[in-house]
Amino acid sequence: MIQSSLVKKITETKNFLSSQTSLKPQIGLVLGSGLGPFVDFLENKTVIPFSSIPGFSSTTVAGHSGALVYGTLKSDGGAVDVVVMQGRVHYYEGHELSEVVFPIRVLCSLGIKALILTNAAGGLNPSFRESDIMMITDHINLTGLNPLRGPNEATLGPRFPDMTEAYDRRLLEIFKSTAEKESLELKEGIYSWYLGPSYETPAEIRAFRVLGADATGMSTVPEVIAARHMGIPVAAISCITNLASGITSQKLTHEDVVQSAKKAVHKIFTLLKSALPQI
């Protein structure tokens, strides 16, 4: 059977990674802005810079270390082998969407049984506060872009994948019950994907709120689409690092976003450490 160029690239990358580690991860995890230190909880780590992995692009954004980390996460709930993206690349950095989601396609091809995404997001819901954590229950793609544009690779997934349950209900229940057990306040809401890199205007934020969005950010949605295309269950958690433009008069900077993410680190790390072994 003749492989497509995409499948060939995925196979090449898988072969490279298998030469670096013998670990067979069960969970894929993407760490957003300021959340990279979560890998410090892993044992028996293998760290592979994005720059050395075939097909991966290097990230240019502060707070995104740009490494793939294999390891074992242990907690009171058990142990699980994971593969972690310590940072991600974004469309606004100049990458094509196919490049943005290529690492996700590789993770999904490694035999993982779930993909967990994290990000930094601006809060639109007036009940949200800086350093809240929000479980994404659905999303709104505000960009008009889709990583599945172009010829479909049928060996990876269907031409028209269903997105009724983009965020897996079983995984969401695990995170909800874990948050209750750990006495963590876990918000729930709808995430909207905005291209960036400029922050939204107050008028845009008002429009997003009318559409039903509770938070907004510059990542995650294309990764969810690619993973669901390949049949992998997904859950996603947002760190609410700031209140969006117009909700507050404070001017926004990426440095502030990274610092605010650090304030939510304990909460999201506690949630991940306890929930992942249950998946």
Region for residue 70 given its phi and psi (left: phi exceeds 0; alpha: psi -120 to 50; beta: otherwise): beta
Catalytic residue among 33, 119, 131, 192: 33
pLDDT of residue 241: 86
pLDDT at position 76 is: 79
User: What's the rounded mean pLDDT across residues 113-139?
Assistant: 95
Higher-confidence position of 217 and 253? 217
Q: Which of 57, 119, 219, 245 is catalytic?
A: 219
Please report the pLDDT score of residue 11 as a whole number. 96
Separation between Cα atoms, residue 3 and residue 129, nearest integer Å? 49
Asked if 242 is an active-site residue, the reply is yes
Mean model confidence pLDDT for the chain? 92
**Residue 219 falls in the annotated catalytic set:** yes
**1 is annotated as an active-site residue:** no
Count Cβ atoms within 10 A of the Cβ of residue 140 and give its class: 0-12 exposed, 13-18 middle, 19 or more buried: middle
For residue 211, count CB atoms less than 10 angstroms from its CB and return exposed for 0-12, middle for 13-18, buried for 19 or more.
exposed
pLDDT tens track for 142-155: 999 999 999 999 99
Tens digits of per-residue pLDDT, 83-112?
Answer: 999 999 999 999 999 999 999 999 999 999
Clarify whether 4 is annotated catalytic. Answer: no
Catalytic, 65? Answer no
Catalytic residue among 238, 242, 245, 260: 242
What pLDDT, on the 0 to 100 scale, is given for residue 253?
64
Q: What is the mean pLDDT of residues 245-271?
A: 72
Residue 1 confidence (pLDDT): 45
Q: What percent of the chain has pLDDT over 90?
A: 80
Q: Which of 57, 70, 93, 167 is catalytic?
A: 93
Residue 266 catalytic?
no
DSSP lists the bridge partners of residue 81 as 72
CA dihedral 19, 38, 100, 65 (to 10 degrees): -80
Q: What are the structure tokens assigned to 92, written together? A: 């606004």
Residue of 67, 70, 85, 90 marked catalytic = 90
pLDDT, average across residues 165-181: 98
Catalytic residue among 114, 121, 135, 218: 218
Out of 120, 121, 166, 227, the active site residue is 120
Q: What is the CATH number of domain 24-278?
A: 3.40.50.1580
Residue 264: pLDDT band by 50, 70, 90 thresholds? confident
pLDDT digits 0-9 by tens, 45-65: 999 999 999 999 987 765 557
Q: Which of 92, 95, 98, 109 is catalytic?
A: 92
Point out which residues pair with 216 in neighbouring strands: 122, 192
Which is catalytic among the residues 64, 70, 125, 274? 64
What are the sequence ranges of the domains in the chain? 24-278
d(CA 88, CA 67) in angstroms, rounded, equals: 9
Indicate if 90 belongs to the active site.
Answer: yes
